[in-house]
Every structure is written in structure tokens, then in C-alpha cells.
Amino acid sequence: MSRVMILFFLSLVLIPTGLASGHPPDSIELVFDSPKNVLQVTVHHHVKDLGKHYVNQILVKLNGEKIIEQKCKSQSDSRLQMVDYRIIDARPGDEILVTVGCNISGRKKLKIVVKEEPEQQEAGPGEGE
């Protein structure tokens, strides 16, 4: 068997195995505190090895415009990633869209509309992409 055929066979066996260990985040929760203009993002993503599998990107758009892009090299713990962002330009009626990605496979997104009430508002769980 030629060297090329051996490499081809190994790639057919090993690539799907590597992808099977990765999965998109399970869900997203968004809480926007209007008086403080703070968005709390909680990403549920259960992993076994934080060094190899984690939430690696969080993207926040305000009314379709990218305002925050955070690259991560690990997540808060083996169950979730939590971050808070101050969004000083958010006004009632504005749409905040959050997209999160896994370093191995998949993304998930969720949006929330800023309300006038001075209390916290929540959205979750997020839809897959």
C-alpha cells in the first residue's frame, strides 16, 4: 500500500473521531441590566478538558454593528463561560445579538431587545447555527 493511501485511510478514520469530541455550546443566557447598561452573558458548554475544548469566541452586535469581539483561550469552568460587558450606547428598542463559538466545532447565537424598564431583562436559551 502506498504512503498516500495510508495517509488517506488514516485521515478518514481520525478526522471524524476528532470532530466527535467537539460540540457547539449547549445554550446561552443573556441578562441586560438597563440602569447599569451591563450585559451578562452565560454560555453553557460542558467539557471534559478545558485545555483542549472551550468557548473560544464571543461576538456582540448592537443593532447589527459589531461592538465587541472577545477571543478566549479557556472558559470559566468545565460547565460554562461567563462574561459581563458594559454597553453604554444601548437604548430602549435596540437589539443586542450575541454569537458564541467553540474552538472545535459549532456556534450558537441569541438576541435580546433592550427594554425601557429599569429592571433586568433576560433571554435564553440560545438557538444553534
**What are the tens digits of pLDDT across the range 76-116?**
899 999 999 999 999 999 999 999 999 998 999 999 999 98
pLDDT digit string, tens, across residues 37-57? 999 999 999 998 888 999 999
Q: What is the DSSP string of 10-77?
A: HHHHHHHHHHHT----SEEEEEEETTTTEEEEEEE---S-TTTS-EEEEEEEETTEEEEEEE-SS-SS
Closest CA to 32 of 107, 87, 99, 75: 87
Better-scored residue on pLDDT, 49 or 8: 49
The position carrying cell 476528532 is 18
Which positions ≥6 away from 120 have C-beta within 8 Å? 31, 32, 33, 34
d(CA 73, CA 14): 24
The position carrying cell 473560544 is 56
Cis bond upstream, residue 92 (ω within 30): no
Query: What does the mean pLDDT of the chain come to?
Result: 84
Q: Provide the residue ranges of all domains of the chain, joining segments of one domain with +.
A: 22-124
pTM for the full model? 0.76
Closest CA to 31 of 99, 93, 110: 110
**Is the model's pLDDT at 16 over the cut of 70?**
no
Cell numbers standing for residue 92: 430602549
Position 119 confidence tier, pLDDT thresholds 50, 70, 90: low
**CATH assignment, 22-124:** 2.60.40.10
